[in-house]
Amino acid sequence: MTVAVLSGKGGTGKTFVSVNLAAASKDAAYLDCDVEEPNGRLFLKPEQVLSSPVTVPLPAFDGEKCTGCRKCVEFCHFNALVFVKNKPMVFPEVCHSCGGCALICPEHAVTETPRQVGIVEEGLSGGIRVVTGILNPGEVSAIPVIKAVLQKGMHAEGLTVVDCPPGSGCSVMESVSRADYCLLVAEPTAFGFHNFKMVHKLVRLLHKSCGVVINKASGEYLPLEQFCAETDMPILLRIPYSAELAAHTAAGKIAVRQDTSAAVTFRELLTGLEKEAGR
């Protein structure tokens, strides 16, 4: 079973839920797709880490073959190519590696060379396989690194937890693409609820089954509870705000490995998820 953990707002507790969920399972893979700031490794502290580069193809132009027809420049939807002094010039950060310029060139003057945009790290934390995507700072698109994480990390048997980036944009869509179930972490505040509705809309659009974890729940926040009831979304877990849990997290510790009640809670969440995903 592959569970994507997401939330609109950052700081809601995606990594907290993902890491603890993976740690509560006996046989799990934890995939960090929040490649701009992958934090799961700070808790899981994986060992025997193997690192591999993630590259994207970047066009290179053969000045001998290029006749200056500009077909590539006109074709480029992202405006990454400029024709100056009788040759095309590529702007790597703007290029989306679609390969269109190479296809359209009538002179076959375009070749593609790999350009590194990040890395994927694979390691072990107890019985958990930890796969972390790390995007190079300044890169425009996180998608190639997220794709590489999913390709390397998918766990055929047992549980795969995908820790998604915040928001509801392209990188989130890519991260949930292979999920059987989406776990939406919500914060019971007006801001948290607003962003929660945006992710909810996204996962519905993608026809994913989903359930909710309300984190830092001190008392009921009615608008959120009502919304979940109206949209038929099960609230699988409410985690009350607790100074103890916050202290474990601040110390880089995994709550379910520190605290028996947290272990029980997350095992219950796991059971709830299995039941929901099987529906």
Partner 1 sequence: MKIAIPVDENTEAVCVSFGRAPYFLIHDTETKTSKIETNPAAAAEGGAGLTAAQFVVDTGADALITVRCGQNAADVFKAAGTKIYKALSTYADENLKAMAEGKLDELTSFHAGFHGRS
CA–CA gap between residue 272 and residue 128 (Å, rounded): 20
Contact status: 149 vs partner 1 (CB under 8 A):
no
Indicate the residue among 143 and 150 with the shorter CB distance to partner 1. 143
Q: Which residue has the tokens 């809309």?
A: 201
Number of residues that bind partner 1 (CB under 8 A): 14
Contact status: 241 vs partner 1 (CB under 8 A):
no
The single residue among 89, 103, 124, 246 that binds partner 1, judged by CB under 8 A, is 89
Please identify, among the stretches 17-25, 85-93, 113-121, 203-211, the one whose residues bind partner 1 according to the rule CB under 8 A: 85-93
Two tokens at 61?
């132009």
Please identify, among the stretches 24-32, 70-78, 111-119, 202-210, the one whose residues bind partner 1 according to the rule CB under 8 A: 70-78
| 3-state SS record for the chain | CEEEEECCCCCCCHHHHHHHHHHHCCCEEEEECCCCCCCHHHHHCCEEEEEEEEEEEEEEECCCCCCCCCHHHHHCCCCCEEEECCEEEECCCCCCCCCHHHHHCCCCCEEEEEEEEEEEEEEEECCEEEEEEEECCCCCCCHHHHHHHHHHHCCCCCEEEEECCCCCCHHHHHHHCCCCEEEEEECCCHHHHHHHHHHHHHHHHCCCEEEEEEECCCCCCHHHHHHHHHCCCCEEEEECCCHHHHHHHHCCCCHHHHCHHHHHHHHHHHHHHHHHHCC
Contact status: 84 vs partner 1 (CB under 8 A):
yes
The single residue among 48, 63, 64, 85 that binds partner 1, judged by CB under 8 A, is 85
Contact status: 108 vs partner 1 (CB under 8 A):
no
Contact status: 79 vs partner 1 (CB under 8 A):
yes
Contact status: 227 vs partner 1 (CB under 8 A):
no
Contact status: 191 vs partner 1 (CB under 8 A):
no
Contact status: 73 vs partner 1 (CB under 8 A):
yes
The answer to whether residues 179 and 65 touch, using CB atoms and an 8 Å cutoff, is no
Contact status: 94 vs partner 1 (CB under 8 A):
yes
The single residue among 49, 50, 60, 82 that binds partner 1, judged by CB under 8 A, is 82
The single residue among 26, 50, 68, 78 that binds partner 1, judged by CB under 8 A, is 78
36-65 residues near partner 1, rule: CB under 8 A: none
Contact status: 80 vs partner 1 (CB under 8 A):
yes
The single residue among 26, 67, 91, 261 that binds partner 1, judged by CB under 8 A, is 91
Indicate the residue among 83 and 193 with the shorter CB distance to partner 1. 83
Contact status: 251 vs partner 1 (CB under 8 A):
no
Pairing of strands 128-135, 110-125: antiparallel
| Binding-site ranges for partner 1 (CB under 8 A) | 73, 76-80, 82-85, 89, 91, 94, 140
